[in-house]
A and B are shown apart, each in its own frame.
Chain A
Amino acid sequence: MNCKQIEKLLSPYLENDLSQEKKNLVENHIKKCPQCSELLSYMKEAKNSLAEMPEIDISPSLRKKLYKIPKKKFKLSFDFLLKPALQPVLAASMVLITVVSLYTLNPDRGKINKYINQHIHAGYSKAEQLYAKAESLTHSLAGHKESILFSIKNIDLFWEKTIKK
Chain B
Amino acid sequence: MLIDTYSKKIFNLAYQFTGTYETAEDMTQEIFIKVHESLHKFDFGRNFNAWILTLSRNFLIDHYRKTKLEKKKRTEYDERTLDSDDHADPEKEMLKKNSQKIIWDGLKSLSSDVRMAVILRDIQGKKYEEIAEIMSSPIGTIKSRVNRGRIQLAKIIKENQGEKNELQTN
For residue B118, CB closer than 8 A to chain A, the reply is yes
Known: A53-B81, A53-B83. A45 touches B33 (CB 8 A): no
Return the contact of B15 from the options A8, A56, A65 (Cβ within 8 A): A56
State the main secondary structure of chain A at its contact with B. helix
The total of Cβ contacts below 8 Å across the A-B interface reads 105
- Name the one of A42, A54, A65, A69 contacting B81, with C-beta atoms under 8 angstroms: A54
Taken together as a complex, chains A and B put the C-alpha atoms of A64 and B93 apart, in Å, by: 34
Q: Are B150 and A53 in contact (CB under 8 A)?
A: no
A62 interfacial contact with B, CB 8 Å: yes
User: Roughly how many angstroms separate A29 CA and B74 CA in the complex, as a whole number?
Assistant: 37
Pick from A12, A42, A46, A58: contact of B8, CB below 8 A.
A58
Number of interface residues of B (CB under 8 A): 40
Interface-located stretch among B42-50, B96-104, B129-137: B96-104
- For residue B154, CB closer than 8 A to chain A, the reply is yes
Nearest A residue to B39 via CB reads A70
Residues of B within 8 A of A43 (CB): 150-151, 153-154
Give A23-68 interface residues, CB cut-off 8 Å to B. 38-39, 42-43, 45-47, 49-59, 62-63, 65-67
Which residues of B sit under 8 angstroms from A56, Cβ to Cβ?
Answer: 11-12, 15, 80-81
Q: Check B125–A10 contact: CB distance below 8 A.
A: no
B87 in the interface (beta carbon within 8 A): no
Q: Which of B100, B118, B157 touches A52 (beta carbons < 8 Å)?
A: B100
Name which residue of chain B comes closest to A44, CB basis: B154
Contact yes or no, B150 A69, CB < 8 A: no
Please tell me the number of chain A residues within 8 Å of chain B, measured between CB atoms.
35
B103 near A50 with CB under 8 A, answer yes
Interface positions of B from 1 to 56, Cβ below 8 Å from A: 3, 7-8, 11-12, 15-16, 25, 28-29, 32-33, 36-37
B146 at the interface (CB under 8 A from A): yes
A75 in the interface (beta carbon within 8 A) = yes
B56 CB, min distance to chain A CBs, angstroms: 13
- By the criterion CB–CB under 8 Å, are B103 and A66 in contact? no
Does B111 reach chain A (CB closer than 8 Å)? no
A69 to B3, CA, bound (A): 10
What are 11 A-B contacts with C-beta separation under 8 Å? A8-B147, A10-B150, A39-B155, A42-B158, A47-B122, A47-B150, A53-B81, A57-B8, A58-B7, A58-B8, A77-B37
